[in-house]
Amino acid sequence: MDKLADNRLMELIKGGNNHAFTALVNRYWEDLYRHVHTRLRHEEDTKDILQEIFITVWKNRETITVDDKGMGAYLFQAARYSVIDHFSKPHTIIYNEELLQELVSASAHEQLELKEIEQQVIKALDSMPERLQLPYRLSRYQHLSNREIAIRLSLSEQTVKNNISITLRYLRTHINEAGFLVVVVFIIP
């Protein structure tokens, strides 16, 4: 089944063939994972998005049509829209130094609340081990890439990614525990 063309796989999937669906998932999972993960940089969210995409394909299998570009184009378009949707959910605020000032132009109360959030982030960051703080600070404040950070700190690029991810999770939890009803998403440059 792995060698069947996308349109033939979709014909089988429309007929309810689980093996064809599994072949489709196996064919596109890794490429879609890399595509979504480079944007989200969060493994669990990436897997959730991919799972939702494939669940939607299965649920709508009878109405999906594959054009000349193949099923890959359809899946990557779905991934693109899912990532956009992920970042535009109302409970998400995108936080970084440049955007902070743009986001607080509405009222003094909102400005005060955002300053409190910023202080909570700094306080939480200061309480973390330096091995977690440093990659995050280099990424956010000096705008270094993960590769540049890895070279500077003599770490693997994967370790840098993992440390930043751990820091982000900790900061989100800390902000929520501090009583703020927002989830702060820190954009990775």
Which residue in this structure is represented by tokens 């060698």? 3
Q: What is the pTM of this model?
A: 0.48
Reduced to 3 DSSP states, what percent helix, strand and coil does the chain have, rounded to the nearest 5? 70, 5, 25
How many C-alpha atoms does 171 have within 13 Å on its Cβ side? 25
Topology match between the domains 6-87 and 92-186: no
Spell out the domain ranges in the chain.
Answer: 6-87, 92-186
Structure tokens at 80: 């693109």
Regions of the chain where pLDDT drops below 70:
1-2, 68, 89-114, 176-189
Q: What does the pLDDT look like over 17-26, one tens digit per residue? A: 989 989 999 9
Looking at CATH, the fold of the domain delimited by 6-87 is given as Rna Polymerase Sigma Factor; Chain: A (1.10.1740)
Task: Return the beta strands (E) in 76-122 as ranges.
Answer: 92-95
Other beta carbons less than 10 A from residue 27's beta carbon:
18
Angle (deg, nearest 10), helices 71-87 and 18-40: 40
pLDDT in tens, 156-175: 999 999 999 898 888 878 77
- The CATH classification number of 92-186 equals 1.10.10.10
Spatial separation of the C-alpha atoms in residues 118 and 152, rounded to whole Å: 27
pLDDT tens across 43-63, in order?
Answer: 888 999 999 999 999 999 888
Q: Where are the beta strands (DSSP E) in 30-172?
A: 92-95
